[in-house]
Structure 1
């Protein structure tokens, strides 16, 4: 089965409520959705959100990178040569990780369809069901507390709170949420690079002294401040997780060599797809460091791909794959489904996605 071409479109899905972090605020999820065509008439699906403040990829840049650079590198190749195709995707250009991820996901979808194999089984088949947290956007303390209570009522047992705009105000936000949800709900914090190293240590120690029982802190300092990240990790008890500092396998090798963090957050849009993400997971496993599978604000195509790797690999012990559950509708037939805080992987081949409604071709 040979690759013959790619169609590129866009999918826009409104959110249930605005998504706010220390870096951005959005009200819709917007994905580039690609269809990789083959000479046997089988189509592979992939997707990429534009997250310019993290990956630097816009919709326009991702679409043009796929059409003009990545496709020419793999056109005419047989899907059986998966490893070579994945290498060519990564070597076709530097950066542009979201564009690479979209094509990588579609190639894996094709591979699974060709052999009648669900992707979660291809990656190891650890479990068909995985739990996820739910993200609470950064807002005023009372609003975050109310949102957290709604999430618990909807069946979630673990919440990730967005913080990082103002450390003093963040403490008030966290206290309000803990009071609203009680002691049994797991709380994770994501500072999105919003604190300095000293500010992070001071804030985290205050949380520890107050007994607020925070499970982990995600990316407290700037992505490039690896020394600062290590300094925070070495000076607090709470587990520290690298996110924006951990794009590639090379990044993760450096992090684990420095022992700069306790956990790694793997995201397909940072890594460049399932191939490099699987390499990161293997590297973390060899280093004795557990991983979380995370996501951008992306549709169920990317979420299903990420969940497939998480459900297959033992070193991925935590999940932040709630993005598709933050949206007002579901235009995608098949793929993962949510049952409260649990994602259930499909047994259909590949991603198990059969249709994408509202897809508008742009290239």
Structure 2
């Protein structure tokens, strides 16, 4: 799917310390029931390979699902045990489709099935790649004008440049925007300490510093939290439930940035949220260039989960095209929770066909 250019209100090129995004490969999952109900799910194309993603769903996930009753979501998810292979992201996309179908069968939204009624709209965080200081100023001002309260930006190999960009955006918006800074595991401990301290010296306190160092670096985040006053967030570490439990147990992070797809679905991510809530840390939801299907699932999750205390990341405003018949609308920095049955959104299958790729083709060519 194409990402719209920055100058047209989009995000491309969206630069981080490991890539530059102008198109994104996504995999859509469609579940059809014997009584004619269709449910939809969505995931990032695994390893940018449609063939791998499709094979796992067709050969591993689908045989366990076909023949079950739609009500058996928990039992279906619990039936997988592959100690050497991680199947949760594939389960997450399929499980989302099951909730969508179950809601349609019951005539209830996913958030109602999960307890719902908490929020009708969800504030979201604006996302911005690595740009020059002047460009960062301009687009931070645009985010503020559009009603966003929080801006998440990527960080790269030059932590001093990242600090300068945050200072520039903070100055441009007169301190009215909060910032999230995400190096995507790209910093060493000393770089994270110096960057965080430099921002503190400038009187700038991030909403959080997200996963600055590599996952499984046990002890790193505990030391960072002791040395900095900047809140520390784990994101990629939450893709491994035991890592999140360890970080909470050691009081090593202030924020958990969870994601329902790598967590194995709505049930799995709610279990992770419960761990974070019990540890007394804040929780937000990650965004990996989600299309409308997963974005709707995140909205329903927020509408039914009080422990989600921080706005989710979103890049929904950045797409050049959509796969929903009625695309979600971002207004004043927020998105309304769809109120129809299931996920409350309808997929435009003609649009899906326009962007379909053969399973043998590299997803980066979408």
Distance between the aligned counterparts of 1:124 and 1:338, measured in 2?
Answer: 24
Residues 90, 307 of structure 1: alpha-carbon distance in 2 compared, 3 angstrom cutoff? farther
Please say if residues 322 and 351 of structure 2, whose CA atoms lie closer than 8 Å, have aligned partners that are also in contact: no
Counterpart of 1:286 in structure 2 is: 278
The answer to which of 36-45 and 302-311 deviates more is 302-311
Post-superposition shift, 1:244?
0.9
Q: Is 1:102 equivalent to 2:93 in the alignment?
A: yes
Distance between the aligned counterparts of 1:207 and 1:108, measured in 2?
Answer: 43
Distance between the aligned counterparts of 2:321 and 2:236, measured in 1?
Answer: 29
Counterpart of 2:362 in structure 1 is: none
Match of 1:46 among 41, 61, 64: 41
Counterpart of 1:359 in structure 2 is: 352
Post-superposition shift, 1:94?
2.6
Distance between the aligned counterparts of 1:38 and 1:303, measured in 2?
Answer: 23
Distance between the aligned counterparts of 2:3 and 2:196, measured in 1?
Answer: 34
Higher RCO (Cα < 8 Å, 6 or more apart): 2
Counterpart of 1:116 in structure 2 is: 107
Count of aligned positions: 348
- Secondary structure of 2:28's counterpart equals strand
Alignment of 1:238-253 (within 5 A): 238-253=230-245
Post-superposition shift, 1:335?
7.0
Q: Is 1:26 equivalent to 2:26 in the alignment?
A: no
Q: Is 1:129 equivalent to 2:121 in the alignment?
A: yes
Post-superposition shift, 1:212?
1.8
- Secondary structure of 1:60's counterpart equals helix
Counterpart of 1:87 in structure 2 is: 78
- Secondary structure of 2:90's counterpart equals helix
In the alignment, structure 1 segments of 5+ residues that lack a partner are 1-11
Distance between the aligned counterparts of 1:289 and 1:136, measured in 2?
Answer: 25
In the alignment, structure 2 segments of 5+ residues that lack a partner are 5-9, 360-366
Deviations 1:110-169 (A, max 9, x none): 121121111122223211211011011112222222221222222212111211321111
Distance between the aligned counterparts of 2:145 and 2:327, measured in 1?
Answer: 25
Please say if residues 180 and 208 of structure 2, whose CA atoms lie closer than 8 Å, have aligned partners that are also in contact: yes
Q: Which has the higher strand share?
A: 1
Distance between the aligned counterparts of 2:327 and 2:77, measured in 1?
Answer: 22
Counterpart of 1:4 in structure 2 is: none
Distance between the aligned counterparts of 2:84 and 2:102, measured in 1?
Answer: 23
Please say if residues 335 and 346 of structure 1, whose CA atoms lie closer than 8 Å, have aligned partners that are also in contact: no
